[in-house]
Structure 1
Amino acid sequence: MSAQTTQQFTGLSAAEVAERVARGEANDYQARVGRTYWQIFRDNILNLFNIVLGTLLIIVLLFQDYATVFFAGFSVVTNSFLGMIQEMNAKRRLDRLAALAASLVCVYRDGDVVALPKFEIVKDDILPIEPGDRLVVDGTVLHSDGLEMDESQLTGESDAILKEAGDQVQSGTYCVGGSGVMIATRVGAESTVNQISTIAKTYKRVLTPTQRKIVLIVQLSVIIMAVCTPMIFAAGYITDGEIFNLEIFRNAVVFVSSLVPQGLVLTATLALTLGALSISRFRTLVQRVNAVESMANVTTLCFDKTGTLTKNQLSVVEIRPLNGHTVAEVTAKLAHYTQNLAHQNRTAGAVADYIAAEAINGSGGQALLTKQREVPFTSTRQWGAVVFADETLILGAPERVLTDAEGAPAQEASAIAANGLRVLALARSTAPMPDGVLVAERDPVALIILSDQIREDSEAMLAEFREQSIALKVISGDNLETVREIAIKAGMTIRRAYTGDEIEAMTPLERVDAVKKGDLFARVEPDTKRKIVNTLTDEGEYVAMVGDGVNDVPALKAANLAIVMNDGAQISKDIADIVLLNNAMSTLPRALKDGRIITQSIYGTSKIFLVKNIYSTLLFLFAGFMAMPFPISPIQISWLTFGVINVPAGLMALRVLRPRHMRAFRRDVLDYVVTAGFIGAAAMAFVFGATYLASGQDLDQARSTVTIFMTLFSLIVLWNVLGIELLHPRTILAHLWVFVLGIVAAAGTIAVMYLAPLVLEDDVFEFVPPTPQAWGMIAIVFGISAVLLHFTMRKRELTERLWELLSPP
């Protein structure tokens, strides 16, 4: 905004602001954009699973069965409340971190331009508008200097709209070119962006692929619970002639707590939330917690060279006059051009700084010309123009500004760009300038040569990405040869390179091939960036896009993961999943690696919880088919779940234990879950049935024996998750402390059940120690199960046929 424009507006006084605040005319309305503390409490405590199980436990409590209530409820309470507390603590710390990235809004107050939080804007405030600004209130344009707004957020149309004084502008739109001044007319809940759809502004939880699978499993579990739980009561009525019976309610508690993997949901949420907090150590703000898993899935990273490979500190190194112009004439014209701009971007600022450093004031002592109008530079046009009374000055990419693509000036510009330097062309025209269209009659005046320093850490950063098998693609608006030279100096290998015009001229099939095999794309317009990203995602790539400007917004929206520099345009930060607070992409490799570790912990905990849910549910069914009593004690299964499932899963979520690497959720998690769940259930049904019959139908004896076997089988699952295969001794030696830790956890869980009767007056666990013969059977079945599980997973015939059956025709 020019000084002349700034002096025309004083804005509201402090007293006028106070009056409007008192009248409720402040922009203090805030639609929910994140999980509130109430939502965290509701999702962790007041979910369907807790309500159903809590109701059953209250009824059991009425029967004065305090031990069942304590042990069955302990796991639920610890999971729910600890998860809630951890998530709230993480939210509080992330909210403080988010304040560092919060955008302020410039506003005229008492004759000065001040930066304020958007919630302090009031009706009748006067606000300047510059490229990248996203409007937070509705208003009327008071002054326009080539002001162009993108209203695609509201209308779906991506064309820039020229706004003149008196035109209306809406909140949610953003400036792509020029500048202006507006007066706020509708604020808070009355603004367009809040009135269009309060529901749309309300927090919407976007699930990652893994979370969608977990939610689907939970939903199926809830359906099974709704169908089968009444059957338990019906069976009890048929058997005992009554429904309101303690044993029936205890069985229902076991069935519900064993069927629904609620602990998995809480652990996954906790892992992602703590992961976002952990990643913040790298000065990386995760604005969408689920983006943590997205970071682990990235296969392709797209980025511009500016600010990533280079420092984004442009400086003019030389001005080369053309067609007989002198340096003095050129610098005078550049002074007229740059000092009449409504908004100076970094390139124009570098040119203006060069002129000031050369001590050239205006045009050789003459007064600066006053513009009639301006066509602002945009990435789509790749040029800008300032119209004066006698001539029009045009500055931009040589490929757009120079009339003869094969002429000497164009060849010279190409040769300079091949050395990694950035080149602009200045041209003049005396012909009338159409709105937004480059005048055909124009004469080259000069080439302006700029340089930018390569970041010292760029080569190491690119190497870290390659170590993680992430494909790198540079997408830039600069000259192809300039970008190629900088990329090579930074350590990239450029096999294929294309210009935006070449990409646009291709057929869809040719574009797919070019985008997949290309490493560099130059002179790319914003919509072409979007097409490149869309092509990659359509081909199955998981794309992260790094940007900072308005020109990056379409591509950021199209990417699976939007990453923005903290100094970027306000609109780009608004749509970002991740904000790099230190404006350095060099922190990103470590953050991506951290995201992979966090995702692995989710995969590991998924295995542990889901295997237990599968074998428990199938065991209930198998026992029913054999016309045998309910096979599990609620107290015993609650205790073993705590000892060998909840505690290890919690340690994984806290990253104390590191699971083995798992590439795909279906193959590495679900295949094992189905196989181990089925084998485990069959083995447990055999152990239960054999013990029940051999002991003369002693139900407590049979339940205790199957609990011991269930504890040991859960140990096999835990070891597998942590990288130990019992049939491969070298894996035991490689993870010896984990192997010992598992034995200690299982032994401790079993020992407590053995020792409880010696310490407590009542036999809380209702545990009857297995006979030596029963222990022998446990050992044999345990060994057979381990071998069978190992070889079944090698063949995978069971799961392959299952997925083939379930896949759509």
Structure 2
Amino acid sequence: MLHPTGGDVTDVERSGARGLTAAQVSERVAANQTNDVPRRSSRSLAEIVRANVFTRFNALIGTLFVLVMIFGQWQDGLFGGVILANSAIGVIQELRAKRTLDKLAVVGETPVRVMRDGALAELAQQDVVLDDLIVLGSGDKIVVDGTVAASHGLEVDESLLTGEADAVSKTPGDEVRSGSFVVAGGGTFTAEKVGREAYAARLVEEASRFSLSHSELMAGINRFLKYVTWLIIPTAILLFISQFRTSLGFGEAIVGAVAGVVTMIPEGLVLMTSIAFAVGVVRLGRRHCLVQELPAIEGLARVDVLCVDKTGTLTEPGMDLDEVIVLDKDLPARQALAATAAGDPDPNATMRAVKEGLDEHDPGWPITETVPFSSARKWSGAAFDGQGSWIVGAADVLLGSGDAHRQQAERLGSTGLRVLVLARVPDGSFAAPDRLDVTASAEPAALIVLRQRIRPEAPKTLEYFAEQGVAVKVISGDNPASVGAIARSLNLPQAEHPVDARTLPDDIEAMAQTLEDNSVFGRVDPQQKRAMVKALQSRGHTVAMTGDGVNDVLALKDADLGVSMGSGSGATRAVAQIVLLDNSFATLPHVVGEGRRVLGNIERVANLFLTKTVYSIILAVLVGLMHVRFPFLPRHLTLISSLTIGIPAFFLALAPNLERARPGFVPRVLRFAVPAGFACGIATFAGYFLASEFTASPFSANSSTATLALFFLTIWVLALIARPWNWWRLGLVVAMGVAFLVVLAVPWLREFFALRPDNLQNDLVALAIAAGAAVMLTFALRWDKWMTRLRNSSG
């Protein structure tokens, strides 16, 4: 009988299965019959350049730039540099992210075991060829389509393909499809569809794509951009007509219309969002965290419940055998345990710990049958010729509720130890249609006590989540008392009363309440993990789920954010949005912190850009209605936008930020940007209108007055957005103000930007109006914030 194995390969090699020869492999490689599908961890170079250069807003700005170059002076075309800056920064940042992701994707791939020339070999997924004989063990992801050649209790979960969670038994001749994964047993199958013909090619491409898929943040930004696009054309027409009617020539009217329209385009908003996302991916990549989808960055910031498995998360994957307590001295317990551990064809971490820590040598009993471990049975076993059948499993599964040995096991488990039972079962039990009935006739022989290794970083990590308002739920398949003991040792809130998941109600609402009231759950099966995620989501929680085993896949799929350990099964890594390649629980605070930094900073940046859009629209409409010359040359608005939006936005988008993410991105931004934009637009126009209508100053002096007023207001808006203030944020605001004063003080810069603040009276009047508008805006925003807090508290 074939016994596929991950570590001991002799059984596979002795089975007689030889697989392809080197010559046959060469023939298939020459015929391009390989599984070499292009890796899609990021966009190609051509796609990156095309996406960052040929955009709708680059086209708009480019058209306006050409018009200014034809009808105006080159200094007024400085805004055209935005095209180069946007494109260059976007391309460079995404190329950096691409290189990081491509390297990490290679590290994150799970090797495939195949038979070649009668020997077992581990290959990269792309090196598999047609007709390869692929060896499967528990937890392996099936990467190509084929037919089962041999089965040793092989059970496959096809939920990724069919949505059905029940494992499907596979026998020789049955079909297996890529995208499914092994949950129990092992076997071999022959690859019949590889490369793009296999379903896995589409799954891998979808799972690892560097994408900007739908999210609340991007949907909100796209709404802003769509509204602005609708307004540009009618506003441009209105401005051109009004400028032409003010006795300006055709060329000057074009330049005036362009000056009014170009500032309406929040071209930097998309750029800063992309940069913030890409930098977030690169930063996490340096911490050995693979982000498979960019929107996962946003999901990180919204998480308020984190579901973790005990094993591999709070505790290290390995365990140490503490002691073996013999319960029946008439039974050869130690010999049976040694033989069972040695005969397991695909040992999990528990059986490896028993095998490594047991001082009893393998007695060499001949094996007639084995039953692999599965999360549904919660036991594994082996039948030996002349020595009976033995199983190893959980104490509360193999022992009755009133059994004294079970009470002894629970006492040990309550101290944080993991306790298993070795039991003998009647011969022939494994052939029963439902192997779950085997436990009813189990005769306990020994208690196996294992000591789990708590991760040293776990206490500080849990403390961080408590401080950040993220509730941690420990969801484990182990004994509730054992899980609770470890959780209590880590000071996890609500860990005093661990819950046995077998007692959980099926009703989602009742389950949700239990989950709210408790934080530790044991004996959770895969379907319950999935149901628990849905129950938490029904209460409005944003749920992140961590996992490393095949029993976590369903919950990872349904969680708002799936986080897999790098050492986990290929299936968990395929469905997770985040993969912790260093298997460190301590990485999670950095993951959550990075998401909050990106989301909080993008909201600040959006406030800046949308304020500019609003005041540009207000100015354009007022100029059109009042039939006066547009108050600015394009170079004036380029200067103001650079100092109060462009440069500050770059620093704000990448700054540290631990603010908790909140829903309602679009309304919140509009509540700030609309009043701020109105204040800037109306006050600036009022100062300009008074200067131009009631004094005989030339246009250059009046436009300089408008520039002073608008800069004063926008620098105040920047100061409001930079709150809460600290040294570097205040320093940023001051630096921008000093830069503007330098432009006014240096003659050639003043001449370059066409600034002539010659009329002191007009300048003071405009600045007084701007100061009044700033005070009114500050009080209006405080009033809105107070009313919002009042509504939320009363609701």
Residues 1:772 and 1:274: Cα distance change in structure 2 (over 3 Å): same
d(CA) in 1 for partners of 2:525 and 2:605? 44
**CA–CA separation in structure 1 for the residues paired with 2:13 and 2:475:** 36
Partner secondary structure for residue 154 of structure 2: strand
Q: CA deviation at 1:31?
A: 6.6
Q: Is the 8 A contact 1:325 1:445 kept in 2?
A: no
The more displaced of 97-106 and 155-164 is 97-106
Given the superposition, is the C-alpha separation of residues 431 and 319 from structure 1 closer, same or farther in structure 2, using an over 3 Å criterion?
same
Q: Find out whether 1:126 has 2:126 as its counterpart.
A: no
Within the alignment, does 1:619 sit opposite 2:610 as a pair? no
**Offset at 1:101?**
2.3
Q: Which runs of structure 2 are paired with 1:60-139 in the superposition (5 Å)? A: 60-63=68-71, 65-69=73-77, 71-139=78-146
CA contact (8 A) 1:194 1:201 kept: no
| 8 Å contact from structure 2 (residues 49, 91) kept in 1 | yes
2:176 maps to 1:169: yes
Partner Cα distance (1:209, 1:37) in 2: 28
Which of 317, 320, 335 is matched with 2:322 structurally?
Answer: 317
Equivalent residue in structure 2 for 1:300, among 285, 301, 305: 305
Over 3 Å counting, the alpha-carbon distance change for 1:193 and 1:619 in structure 2 is same
The C-alpha deviation readout for 1:34-70, integer Å capped at 9, x for no partner, is 333233222221111111221232243334642223x
- 1:416–1:687 Cα change, 3 Å: same
**Which one is further off, 625-634 or 175-184?**
625-634
Aligned alpha-carbon RMSD (Å):
3.0
Letter in 2 for 1:748: A
**Percent identity of equivalent pairs:** 32
Partner of 1:247: 252
1:589 aligns with 2:576: no
Aligned to 2:765: 777
Question: 1:519: how far off?
Answer: 0.7
| Distance in 1 separating the partners of 2:688 and 2:376 | 72
In structure 1, the partner of 2:737 is 746
Query: Do the aligned partners of residues 206 and 759 (structure 1) sit closer, same or farther apart at CA in structure 2, a change above 3 Å counting?
Result: closer
Aligned in 2, Cα 1:158/1:231: closer, same or farther, shift over 3 Å? farther
Distance in 2 between the 1:800 and 1:787 partners? 20
The answer to whether 1:793 aligns with 2:792 is no
Please report how far the alpha carbon of residue 20 of structure 1 lies from its aligned counterpart in structure 2 after TM superposition.
Answer: 0.8
Aligned to 2:503: 502
CA distance in 2, matches of 1:469, 1:246: 59
Report how far residue 482 of structure 1 moved: 0.6
Does residue 337 (structure 1) correspond to residue 345 (structure 2)? The answer is no
Alpha carbons 1:53, 1:256 under 8 Å: kept = no
- 1:397 corresponds to which residue? 394
SS in 1 for 2:546: strand
Q: Secondary structure at the match of 1:164?
A: coil
Q: Deviation digits for residues 756-792 of structure 1, max 9, x if unmatched?
A: 6x479xx653433251112211321222122111211
Flag the 1:40–1:114 CA change in 2: closer, same or farther, 3 A: same
Residues 46 and 240 of structure 1, relative CA distance in 2, 3 Å threshold: farther
Shift of 1:239: 7.8
Tell me the amino acid that sits aligned with residue 396 of structure 2.
E
Cα offset, 1:416, TM superposition: 2.1
| 1:438 equivalent in structure 2 | 436
TM-superposed CA distance for 1:377, in Å, is 1.9
- TM-score, with structure 1 as normaliser: 0.89
Distance 1:689 1:200, change over 3 A: same
Counterparts of 1:684-703 in structure 2, within 5 Å, are 684-696=684-696, 698-703=698-703
Q: CA deviation at 1:132?
A: 1.8
Q: Which moved more, 1:782-791 or 1:218-227?
A: 218-227
The 1:253/1:538 distance shift into structure 2, 3 A limit, reads: farther
Structural mapping, 1:184-199, within 5 Å: 184-194=191-201
Matched, 1:14 2:22: yes
Q: Partners of 1:42 and 1:596 in 2: how far apart?
A: 30
Q: Displacement of 1:421 after TM fit?
A: 1.4
Note the residue ranges of structure 1 that are not aligned, 5 or more in a row. 725-730, 805-809
| AA at the equivalent of 1:297 | R
* Shift in CA distance, 744/311, structure 1 to aligned 2, threshold 3 Å: closer
Preserved CA contact (<8 Å) 1:104 1:116: yes
Alignment of 1:596-607 (within 5 A): 596-607=596-607
Equivalence for 2:291: 286
Q: Which residue of structure 2 aligns with residue 352 of structure 1?
A: 355
- 1:100 and 1:369 mapped to 2: Cα distance? 38
Following TM superposition, by how much is the alpha carbon of 1:344 offset from its aligned partner in structure 2, in angstroms? 1.0
Q: Is the 8 A contact 1:418 1:485 kept in 2?
A: yes
Paired with 2:661 and 2:776, the residues of 1 have a C-alpha distance of 23
Q: Which moved more, 1:490-499 or 1:127-136?
A: 490-499
Cα 1:518/1:659, change in 2 over 3 Å: closer
SS in 2 for 1:450: strand
Shift of 1:147: 0.8
The reply on whether 1:45 has 2:53 as its aligned counterpart is: yes
Question: Residue 608 of structure 1 contacts residue 649 of structure 1 at CA under 8 Å; is this kept in 2?
Answer: yes
After TM superposition, list the pairs within 5 Å mapping 1:514-553 onto structure 2. Answer: 514-553=514-553
**Structure 1 pair 226–561 and aligned structure 2 pair: CA distance change class (3 A):** farther
- Is the contact between residue 330 and residue 445 of structure 1 (CA under 8 Å) also seen in structure 2? no
Contact 1:369 1:388 in 2 (8 A): yes
Q: What displacement does 1:33 show?
A: 4.6
Q: Within 2, Cα distance between the matches of 1:798 and 1:330?
A: 71
Whole-angstrom CA distance in 2 between matches of 1:744 and 1:193 = 54
Alignment of 1:364-763 (within 5 A): 367-371=365-369, 374-386=370-382, 392-402=389-399, 404-427=400-423, 428-430=425-427, 432=429, 433-439=431-437, 441-446=440-445, 447-493=447-493, 494-503=495-504, 505-655=505-655, 664=662, 665=665, 669-696=669-696, 698-723=698-723, 735=727, 738-749=729-740, 751-752=742-743, 755=746, 758=748
Distance change (3 Å), C-alpha of 1:387 and 1:497: same
Distance in 1 of aligned mates of 2:70 and 2:169 = 72
Aligned AA (1:502) = T
Q: CA offsets, 1:153-190, max 9 Å, x none?
A: 22121111111111111111111111111111111111
The letter for the 1-side match of 2:441 is: R
Distance across 2 between alignment mates of 1:62 and 1:314: 75
What's the secondary structure of 1:399's corresponding residue? helix
Paired residue type of 1:610: L
Q: Does structure 2 conserve the Cα–Cα contact (< 8 Å) formed by 1:546 and 1:563?
A: yes
Quote how far apart the aligned CAs of 1:747 are: 3.9
Unaligned runs of 5+ in 2: none
TM-fit CA distance, 1:273:
1.1
Distance 1:266 1:497 in 2: 48
1:158 alignment partner, SS class: coil
Cα offset, 1:529, TM superposition: 0.9
Question: Comparing 146-155 with 73-82, which one deviates more in the overlay?
Answer: 73-82
1-structure distance, mates of 2:722, 2:551: 45
Any conservation in 1 of the 2:342–2:362 contact (CA below 8 Å)?
Answer: no
Shift of 1:451: 1.6
Shift of 1:229: 4.0
Deviates more, 1:196-205 or 1:513-522: 196-205
**What is the Cα deviation at residue 738 of structure 1?**
4.3
- Give the CA deviation at 1:722: 2.3
Whole-angstrom distance in 2 between the partners of 1:303 and 1:51: 48
SS in 1 for 2:368: coil
CA change 1:417–1:743 in 2 (3 A) is: closer
Counterparts of 2:377 and 2:626, CA distance in 1: 76
Q: Where does 1:166-245 land on structure 2 (aligned, <5 Å)? A: 166-194=173-201, 204-232=211-239, 245=250
Q: SS state of the match for residue 769, structure 1?
A: coil
Judged with a 3 Å threshold, the aligned counterparts in structure 2 of structure 1 residues 489 and 602 are, in CA distance, closer, same or farther, namely: same
Partners of 2:786 and 2:474 in 1: CA distance? 45
Distance 1:426 1:74 in 2: 74
- Secondary structure in structure 2 of the residue aligned to 1:311: strand
Change (3 A) 1:63 1:380: same
Q: Deviations over 1:699-727 (max 9, x none)?
A: 44433322222212121122122226xxx
Residue 683 of structure 1 aligns with an amino acid whose one-letter code is: A
- Matching residue's letter, 1:370: T
Cα distance in 2 for partners of 1:586, 1:649 equals 31
**Residues 701, 769 of structure 1: 8 Å contact kept:** yes
